[in-house]
Amino acid sequence: WISSDQKQYNTTGAVYDAGPASETETTALFLQGKWSLDAHWTFKAGVRYEHADVEVDDTVSGIDIANAEYYQGAVQDPFLQALAGGVGMTPQVFLGTIINTASNLYGYENYLTYSDVAPLRQGGSETYSETLFNAGVVYAFNTRQETFLNYSEGFTVPDMTRLLRSVSVLSDGGDSGPILDGTNIDATKTQSWDLGWRGRFDQFTAQTSLFYNTSDQNVEFDRETGVVVIRKQDERFMGFEALLDARFDNGTIAGFTYARTQGETKDDNGNWYALGADRVAPEKITGYIGLSWNGSADARLQVTHLSDYKKGHQEAPADIQDQVVPFEGYRTFDLITNFYTSVGDFSAAIRNLTNAEYYSVYNQVRGYPSGGASAYLPGQGRTLSLSYSLDY
């Protein structure tokens, strides 16, 4: 797999756990109310109590298995055995001496010290609970236009399997005790505000909104190691969204959407800096224009544009800057036609009409595995698709 630049995969029969199996049971109680003061004002408010129990199964770390296999293979290597015999040592003692010397010289942890076995780690359980509030107000100018302001709180239970995937005897300093010992995995609570306006007219539908979200911790993915960790750092997102749809009497249809988001977190000194494209969606603009024939058929040409996003890379602290990849934007066009008949609906589409070469957000920022053919895969080229559906 590695030697072939990730182009050839041969099964070996070895199985590695991608984290311990876990089960989450959630219960909640809530009370929600809505009051209309008059024809213009509407208020809503609510409270929710949420409780979650998470059970984590016993597991053998895939990292410990891989390290044990590497260690066992190393001590059985004929060349190493010959060197060890030449100085009157066993292969195990000789390898340990080399690793200890290199570790002391370069300041690395002796990662083979705990790798001769892959112990079964005991699982455990965690309990989370939180009381959440929400409130909102809508003011209707008339039957066509209204503005709104909302506040809400969210509560997210961590994905134990993903967060514990990289926990091993190595990462725990040689401790083979229960896997949850020494961990500090908390649920994430968020606060969200949004302010907006929406209107419904004879030929137009439009909406705009501003949003602001905060939390006191975030989940971070290390591109180089594939490790997911919870960082106890404040985080905030703010953004603007807008949409417009139009239908004219002559059958012309048109519309656009716009979305821009800014996300920030704090460094170790408490200074805010921009998050990368793996956490912040690049500025996105979509638009379309087409024709509709009395509900029997329609056709439209649509465009999707994603702007460059380099702020996260530019502002990242020096020790992680190489992990925060600048995103290069792209633009694609699609041509879509639909036919609605009594025997079903038919659709024909040409995606990426101009056959533009681009790389999706995911394939630009992922980088783990950090190299090989599976990294930085280009987006799909010009594609013709045909579909048929029937409602019954």
Query: Could you write out the DSSP letters of every residue in 259-300?
Result: EEEEEEEE-TTS-EEE--TTTSPPPEEEEEEEEEETTTEEEE
Does residue 118 contact residue 108 with C-beta atoms inside 8 Å? no
pLDDT at 42: 97
Which long-range contacts link 36-43 to residues 24+ away (Cβ below 8 Å)? 39/140, 40/139, 40/140, 40/141, 41/137, 41/138, 41/139, 41/140, 42/137, 42/138, 42/139, 42/140, 43/135, 43/136, 43/137, 43/138
* Integer Cα distance of 167 and 177 in angstroms: 12
Please classify residue 284 by burial: count the beta carbons closer than 10 Å to its beta carbon, then call 0-12 exposed, 13-18 middle and 19+ buried. Answer: middle
Eight-class DSSP state of 119: P
pLDDT at 370: 52
Eight-class DSSP state of 217: -
pLDDT at 158: 82
pLDDT at 17: 72
The H helix count followed by the E strand count for the chain is 6, 16
**Before 369, cis peptide (omega within 30)?**
yes
pLDDT at 110: 54
Query: In the chain, where are the structural domains located?
Result: 25-59+126-389, 62-117
Find where tokens 């905060």 sit.
Answer: 214
Q: pTM to 2 decimals?
A: 0.81
* Integer Cα distance of 126 and 24 in angstroms: 10
* Integer Cα distance of 224 and 369 in angstroms: 8
Q: Give 180's contacts (C-beta < 8 A, 6+ positions apart).
A: 56, 123, 124, 125, 126
Q: Residue 363 is encoded by which pair of tokens?
A: 């394939």
CA count, 13 A, side-chain hemisphere, 290: 19
Give CATH superfamily name and number for 25-59+126-389: TonB-dependent receptor, beta-barrel domain (2.40.170.20)
pLDDT at 264: 95
Tens digit of each residue's pLDDT, the chain (392 residues):
666 666 777 777 767 777 888 999 999 999 999 999 999 999 999 999 999 999 999 888 877 887 787 778 888 889 888 988 998 988 888 887 877 777 677 665 555 555 566 788 888 899 999 999 999 999 999 999 999 999 999 988 888 888 888 777 766 766 778 888 767 788 889 999 999 999 999 999 999 999 999 998 877 766 555 566 677 888 999 999 999 999 998 899 999 999 999 999 988 888 999 999 988 999 999 999 999 998 899 999 999 999 999 999 999 888 888 878 899 999 999 999 999 999 999 999 999 999 999 999 888 887 555 556 666 688 999 999 999 999 88
**CB-CB neighbours of 286 under 10 Å:** 15
Which long-range contacts link 2-7 to residues 24+ away (Cβ below 8 Å)? 2/372, 5/371, 5/372, 5/373, 6/369, 6/371, 6/372, 6/373, 6/374, 6/375, 7/372, 7/373
Q: Give 386's contacts (C-beta < 8 A, 6+ positions apart).
A: 346, 347, 348
369: three-class secondary structure by DSSP: coil
